[in-house]
A and B are shown apart, each in its own frame.
Chain A
Amino acid sequence: MLEIKDIWKTFNAGTTNEKVALQGVSLTLADGDFVTVIGGNGAGKSTLMNAVAGVYPVDQGTITIGGTDVTRLPEHRRAPYIGRVFQDPMMGTAASMQIEENLALAARRGQKRGLGWSITKAEREEYHTLLGTLGLGLEERMTSKVGLLSGGQRQALTLLMATLRKPKLLLLDEHTAALDPKTAAKVLETTETIVRRDKLTTLMITHNMRDAIAHGNRLIMMFEGRIAVDVSGEEKKKLTVEGLLELFSKASGSDEADDKLLLS
């Protein structure tokens, strides 16, 4: 479903702040793969995700989603294939617009936006039911401005928006990191439910090793702009935090990275 071939990305090339964020990353996701991504700060996790989403162009390499080469497409033209949830709860929704308006915007991802009404009666009913599945009571507040919601509510709504029209690829960029532990667990649970139900091909960055091990059928760990560890299938199922750290030390050839990873 997703095919990343040897992508490179350097920020501030030619200056003292030069940072090689991605050094020839290649990754292929099969249909329905749920891949968790971990790694310390600056390992290139977010850069990888933003490169796939088209936030910035890559210097080299190709990105293909569902057979379509999107390497040269701007962000908004990749959106039809991709559902995204960001780390910052403020980023995924329009605060000054209503809950139902946000959903209606997401429902038209990848479609032409004409002069028809932005939301229909049938849609309202559909959204009412969908919001009900979140169990947050948002279905009774459909005309409330999103800016009035809490961070957790906004992330849950963003998740719903990202998956409202089944995307070919779901990108979750530490989407629970800014939430309190209880809300984070709830949002993660909702994520798991939706991903399983719709069999979504998913790439999920997380800071939490336990979450990375508990979710998905494949786990990759990034280090210095490369994929250092790639575990899947039975091996992934049996993985423990200790085992993961050991794998990582072997792959990166250093022990100090352990602390960096654990502390981050």
Chain B
Amino acid sequence: MDFLSALLKSMPGAAAQGFIWGLMAIGVYITYRILDVADLTVDGSMATGGAVCVMLIRGGVNPWLALLCAFLAGMAAGCVTGLFHTACGIPAILAGILTQLALYSVNLRILGWGTGGGKANQALNVQNYDILVSSRYVREVGLQNPLVLLAVFTAAGIGLLYWFFGTERGCALRATGSNPNMARAQGIDTDSCKVLGLMLSNGIVALSGALLAQYNGTADVSSGRGAIVIGLAAVIIGEVVLGKVFRNFALKLAAVSVGAIIYYIVIQVVLRLGLNTDDLKLLTALVVAVFLAVPYWKGKYFSKPVRKEAADHA
């Protein structure tokens, strides 16, 4: 009974974390599923978003404006990765790793702003500052409960992305990810589409990082470590659980958010069951590896014969 009540008590927190990371995972979805690029910048831009937001709020800036600035900072990070990749010809994965590494120093500098050096973390006490989402109120009933705003954020984010990817420019991005040869033949500048996609993705990730920092009441330079894996986990869980039902693009994005919430609920359960927190990342990595491997194995060992027509002359 104790186990169950403790677990139930932890559910609102898990849901809030899920919403925040779900937003982050939607950013990952844009690069991983739409642009067909595995972008590792997010581990850095997640922390950048948190750092920018916390420092601005501490400096007395309006929290909404601070969120916007975090979003823009993330876009800048994505732009750097995009230029590394397109203008400098660096493979996308390596470009992301380079930016991510560089961001570690940048994030230390942001958090140490005004001290003349770097700093690994900065606190943001909900009593002293105006904060939009805080874990303190996660079990309360009312509008100050962060779940309300987080749900609104997620819905608005999905709505905006649904609109964007339905526009001419959004379609150009999708074509770039689907078939770059075709895109170029139709006059689409695939390089600038990739940069734009990476910017959009990292902006959303940084926004999620900013919300996470507010929620936790602290920005930490290592808060984004392994973010890409959690993002992928959410994308994959969402697809496995809801992929057959959710075919519409907006619903697919919603599935990503649901995937992140499921992920955090499962994490809560295994932690309550006695898993050591230190082993969490190992578990997450293994789960993601298995889920990525399954479709490959399916294709390799259980595939039906493919139409030969095209393959013969390729």
CB distance from B175 to the nearest CB of A (A): 5
> Which residues 71-127 in A have Cβ within 8 Å of B in the complex?
75-77, 79-80, 82, 84, 86-97, 101, 104-106, 108-111, 113-118
CA of A111 to CA of B168 in the docked complex: distance in angstroms? 10
Interface residue tally on B, bucketed by range:
20 to 34
Closest chain B residue to A85, Cβ basis: B185
CA of A93 to CA of B302 in the docked complex: distance in angstroms? 27
CA of A178 to CA of B310 in the docked complex: distance in angstroms? 6
Q: Please state if A97 and B178 are interface contacts (CB–CB under 8 Å).
A: yes
Which residues from B are CB-within-8-Å of A212? none
Q: Please state if A91 and B181 are interface contacts (CB–CB under 8 Å).
A: yes
In this assembly, does B223 line the interface, its C-beta being within 8 Å of a C-beta of chain A?
Answer: no
With A91-B182, A95-B178, A97-B178: A118-B189 Cβ-Cβ less than 8 Å: no
Closest chain A residue to B167, Cβ basis: A115
Task: Pick from A91, A101, A109: contact of B171, CB below 8 A.
Answer: A101
In this assembly, does A150 line the interface, its C-beta being within 8 Å of a C-beta of chain B?
Answer: yes
Which residues from B are CB-within-8-Å of A95? 178-179
With A114-B169, A178-B309: A94-B183 Cβ-Cβ less than 8 Å: yes
CB distance from B305 to the nearest CB of A (A): 15
Interface residue tally on A, bucketed by range:
35 or more
Q: Please state if B168 and A92 are interface contacts (CB–CB under 8 Å).
A: no
Q: Please state if A87 and B313 are interface contacts (CB–CB under 8 Å).
A: yes
In this assembly, does A169 line the interface, its C-beta being within 8 Å of a C-beta of chain B?
Answer: no
With A105-B171, A117-B167: A75-B310 Cβ-Cβ less than 8 Å: no
In this assembly, does A42 line the interface, its C-beta being within 8 Å of a C-beta of chain B?
Answer: no
In this assembly, does A70 line the interface, its C-beta being within 8 Å of a C-beta of chain B?
Answer: no
Q: Please state if B182 and A76 are interface contacts (CB–CB under 8 Å).
A: no
Q: Please state if B314 and A116 are interface contacts (CB–CB under 8 Å).
A: no
With A114-B168, A118-B166, A118-B168: A75-B309 Cβ-Cβ less than 8 Å: no
CB distance from B81 to the nearest CB of A (A): 21
Q: Please state if A79 and B174 are interface contacts (CB–CB under 8 Å).
A: no
How many A-B Cβ pairs are below 8 Å? 104
Which residues from A are CB-within-8-Å of B183? 76, 94, 105
In this assembly, does A134 line the interface, its C-beta being within 8 Å of a C-beta of chain B?
Answer: no
Q: Interface on chain B toward A: helix, strand, loop, or mixed SS? A: helix
CA of A42 to CA of B129 in the docked complex: distance in angstroms? 71
CA of A80 to CA of B184 in the docked complex: distance in angstroms? 10
With A105-B172, A105-B175, A114-B167: A79-B185 Cβ-Cβ less than 8 Å: yes
Q: Please state if B178 and A113 are interface contacts (CB–CB under 8 Å).
A: no
Q: Please state if B178 and A150 are interface contacts (CB–CB under 8 Å).
A: no
CB distance from B243 to the nearest CB of A (A): 14
In this assembly, does A213 line the interface, its C-beta being within 8 Å of a C-beta of chain B?
Answer: no
Q: Please state if A179 and B179 are interface contacts (CB–CB under 8 Å).
A: no
CB distance from B239 to the nearest CB of A (A): 14
Pick from B183, B184, B307, B314 the residue with the most CB of A within 10 Å. Answer: B184
Other A-B pairs beyond A79-B188, A105-B175, 14, CB < 8 Å = A76-B188, A76-B190, A80-B187, A89-B310, A92-B181, A94-B179, A95-B179, A96-B178, A105-B171, A108-B168, A113-B168, A113-B188, A114-B169, A117-B166
Residues of B at the A interface (CB closer than 8 Å) are 164, 166-172, 174-175, 177-179, 181-190, 307, 309-310, 312-314
Chosen A-B contacts, 19 in total, with CB atoms closer than 8 Å, are A76-B183, A76-B190, A77-B189, A79-B185, A82-B185, A88-B313, A90-B179, A91-B179, A92-B182, A96-B174, A97-B174, A105-B183, A110-B187, A113-B168, A113-B172, A114-B168, A118-B166, A150-B307, A178-B310
